[in-house]
Amino acid sequence: MSPFKFLMSYISRHKWQYVFGIITLFVVDYANLFIPELTGRITDGLTDRTMGMPEIMKILLVILVLGITLAAGRFLWRFFLFGAARTIEKEIRNDMFAHLETMDVEYYNSHKTGDLMTRFTSDLNSIRMSIGPAIISIFDATVMGFMVIVQMMIYVNIKLTLLVLIPMSVIMIGEIYYGKIMHGKYKKRQEAVSDLTDFVQESFSGIRVIKAFVRERQQLKEFLKSNRNAMDKNLDIVKWQAVVNPLLTVIIGSSSLITLLYGGYLAIVGDITLGRFVAFNQYVGMLVWPMIACGDAINMFSQGFASARRIQDVFASETEISDPEVPAPVHSLSGRITFDDLTFIHKGSSEPTIKDLSLEVPAGTTLAIIGRTGNGKSTLVNLLLHLYNTKPGMIKLDGTDINDIPLNVLRENIAYVPQDNFLFSDTLASNIAFGTHEKSMERIVEASRAACIHDNIIEFPEGYETVVGERGVTLSGGQKQRSSIARALMKNAPILILDDALSAVDTDTEEHILTNLKKNRAGKTTVIIAHRVSTIKDADVIMVLEDGKAAEVGNHAELMKKGGLYAEMFESQQLEAAIGEQKAAIRRDIAGIRPQES
């Protein structure tokens, strides 16, 4: 679909607003034609002394009525045309946001946030200008220009009109060529602005890392480079405008000069009256605006179509994760999970992340997954959430292929605590209640107590109404984790997934949370991913992942008896913990001896 057809699909929804706006614009332009003629009549009447005060007052009254009509008309065409353009801008923004919400995680891995934000702001602003002010400009450049030329020929002189139109024609031809050049330049400018926006967004999001590694100067250099690129692309446009706009003024001036020279000669020899000469000068002035408007319209259309293509790229993107064509009649889940020879390969990778994994997890089971970094633990979670596609039959929930379950049903029945513990810039209460329609404080407090975050929250000056910073940066790592756990518990879903969700809390708090989970999640399925054996040793089933395979499966006692990988990890972590306790005891002893020695 071309950018023109894309924009017309939205304009057609508001065709009556455009129709009424254009009719009003026509009335305004038509009314404008009579003012120079009436001025010319007054000039001729006063020159020939054939017009008295009563006749002049009548003409002035007509001009007053025309002035009121122009004022009312200009309000109305702004109301209709600018109002429609603003509404379409809102509709495109709504549709784009709704479309992006359907996109899978792979899309966001390859598209930067800054670039998407530019499409929501700068690109949509360019589109609004092309379907509002540009339409007005092109209408004036054609309809009003035509009416003014006809009026100049009929009321004043055909030869003088044709002579004045020669430089005006040069303007028209030049602006068409100018528009083609500017289209590509505006597209490059928008891409440069996207890159700059993305760099700034990433820098602010990662400001703590930048400061921790003392990279402020390096980031500033990179920013200056990106900012310079954006400036160069803007200057490329400005250079053309700097040449075209003065040239336009020169050509328009030549039309005025022709009017003064040849029109003055015709007035002197008596071919036209003084009043018609005055009126013609006003008509030339009126013709200047359509010529300039034509250039503005081409300029705005060039920007708008370049931005429309960028918006179309978003709509043209298709998600790989979608609802099944024939969804299974599933409305709720009990929590039974089946992995049947599950194998998964990430895009761009030649080796599978998960290989031939088979496991039956009965409903109400606590499944723990442990393994070294990069062995597919988080990938397995993403597959359970259907954030990536799997081959039919490899994952089943309650005996139904995950590919046949509607996405909203699947995800409504799963509560998830991700590794990054994302919190929105909102109150703690709103963040905890985010995953459910129920917003009662009683439920919020209950979930917070179970996640061992309640005592921390009530210590804040605003309590549960405390607004956390962007991504929850005003909270500590442990507080963010526990807030995320509270949000998941608030949902009370049949399946709960904790993706390394206890790594930032101390062992005592961890023990309390796990005890609360065991009580609150009785009869429900819980999947816990962890690196610490102490976190998962009480799970019903423990699966050890090694190179994407289920190397060992069993409970803690069974796996310890095997003396395999799990037992090695347990003993290694126990030894590390014992060494850590000994070091802490030595530090305490030293701290206790030093005061006596001094």
- Place domain 92-316 in its CATH homologous superfamily: ABC transporter type 1, transmembrane domain (1.20.1560.10)
Residue 591, CA distances (Å) to 578, 582, 595, 596 in order: 20, 14, 8, 10
* pTM for the structure as a whole: 0.72
Report the CATH number of the 417-492 domain.
Answer: 3.40.50.300
92-316 and 332-413+494-567: same fold?
Answer: no
What pLDDT does 183 receive?
A: 67
Question: Which residue matches tokens 């330049």?
Answer: 185
Give the pair of three-digit tokens for residue 290. Answer: 């359509």
What pLDDT does 514 receive?
A: 87
Radius of gyration, CA atoms only, the chain: 36
What pLDDT does 597 receive?
A: 44
Give the pair of three-digit tokens for residue 237. Answer: 């446009």
What pLDDT does 86 receive?
A: 92
Question: Which residue matches tokens 């045309």?
Answer: 81
pLDDT at 584 over 70: no
What are the residues whose beta carbons fall under 8 Å from the beta carbon of 534, sequence distance 6 or more? 507, 510, 573
Q: Of all residues in the chain, what percent carry a pLDDT higher than 90?
A: 8
Q: What are the domain boundaries of the chain?
A: 92-316, 332-413+494-567, 417-492
Burial 152-174 (b: 16+ CB within 10 A, else e): beebbbeebbebbbebbebbbee
What pLDDT does 89 receive?
A: 92
pLDDT digits (tens, 9 = 90+) for 283-292: 777 776 677 7
Report the pLDDT averaged over residues 384-409.
89
How does the average pLDDT of the chain come out, rounded?
82
Question: Going by DSSP bridges, is the β-strand pair 400-401/414-417 parallel, antiparallel, or unpaired?
Answer: unpaired
What does the DSSP 8-state code read for residue 468?
A: P
What pLDDT does 16 receive?
A: 92
pLDDT digits (tens, 9 = 90+) for 26-46: 888 888 777 777 777 777 777
What pLDDT does 596 receive?
A: 46
CATH of 332-413+494-567, one of 3.30.2010.10, 3.30.460.80, 3.40.50.620, 3.40.50.300: 3.40.50.300
pLDDT digits (tens, 9 = 90+) for 535-568: 888 889 999 888 888 888 888 888 888 888 888 8
pLDDT digits (tens, 9 = 90+) for 245-258: 777 777 777 777 77
